[in-house]
Amino acid sequence: MSQTIEGLFLKSTITKNNSILIDILTENYGRCNFVISNTNRKKSNFLLQPFHFLEFSSKFNNEKKINSASSIDLVFSVVNILSDIRKTGYAILITEILTKVIQPQEKNTLLYSSIKDMVISFESNPFSPVFGLFFIKNLLNCLGIKPINNYSSENQYFNPKDGKFCSIKNNDIEEDFPNKDFSKLLGTKIDYDPYFLISNTNRRKIMNLLLYFMNYHGLINTTKIKSIQILQSLYD
């Protein structure tokens, strides 16, 4: 029986028979592949964009590697993201990170809802380059390996191996790493604060640390992210 499925578009490829294979992070089944046949290419190009949440019909079978999809439409539009080259840049870069981190058919409803909330907030708020910091912070939280915010006068230095602040500086961290700013970021409760105050230099250093932290804990190989250098220095 056909059912309605919602999911975040990750990437697509054209098959030999000219169908479109789409990689989707679904709300209820995790990351899955679907094939679209006999579709309007112009409409597909419009729909298959970074940060687009899609809704479609499918006779989904969890045992299949690829399921068919039809009647595809947007759950909501992200006009501001796709019309602002700065926001579009982040959408592309973060989508690439998600494709490296999320495993096939690994259901995580907390992760899905968090990404959806972040995208809605990014769409409705002014652009700020701190979005990348907030997104990765929330991503780590949803994956269960978030850094612990135990910053204090006794524990002033973050240790990525232990995932918390310690009393002794770690040699893997830059000498002037902004530990206090990092603690402030970790302590922020909302999904995304475009007015979060931080210098461009400290933002880059925290981004470098978050990526190192992900790499160290086996979530991602940062050398394989094509756009990583753009992400690290985007829009200073």
Q: What is the pLDDT of residue 37?
A: 77
Q: What is the pLDDT of residue 16?
A: 83
**Nearest one of 77, 97, 185 to 134, comparing CA atoms:** 185
Ramachandran region of residue 218, left (φ > 0), alpha (ψ -120 to 50) or beta?
A: left
Q: What is the pLDDT of residue 163?
A: 94
What's the burial of 9, exposed, middle or buried (CB within 10 Å: 0-12/13-18/19+)? buried
Per the model's pLDDT, the better-predicted residue between 153 and 172 turns out to be 153
- Residues 200-234 as b or e (16 or more Cβ within 10 Å = b): eebbbbbbebbbebbeeeebbebeebeebeebbeb
Return all residues near 135 (Cβ < 8 A) that are at least 6 apart.
90, 94, 118, 192
| 115: pLDDT strictly greater than 60 | yes
Please tell me the distance from the alpha carbon of residue 122 to that of residue 74, in angstroms, as a whole number: 17
| DSSP summary character for residue 118 | H
Please tell me the distance from the alpha carbon of residue 146 to that of residue 57, in angstroms, as a whole number: 35
Q: What is the pLDDT of residue 162?
A: 92
Q: pLDDT tens digits, residue range 5-49?
A: 999 999 999 888 888 999 999 999 999 999 997 777 788 889 999
Q: What is the mean pLDDT of the chain?
A: 89
Q: What is the pLDDT of residue 40?
A: 76
| 231: pLDDT strictly greater than 70 | no
Q: Which amino acid belongs to residue 204?
A: R
Q: What is the pLDDT of residue 233?
A: 53
- Region 85-104: mean pLDDT is 90
- Region 53-76: mean pLDDT is 93
> At how many degrees (to 10) do helices 131-142 and 109-124 cross?
170
Q: What is the pLDDT of residue 140?
A: 94
Q: Label residue 236 by pLDDT band (50, 70, 90).
A: low
Give the predicted TM-score (pTM) of the model. 0.89
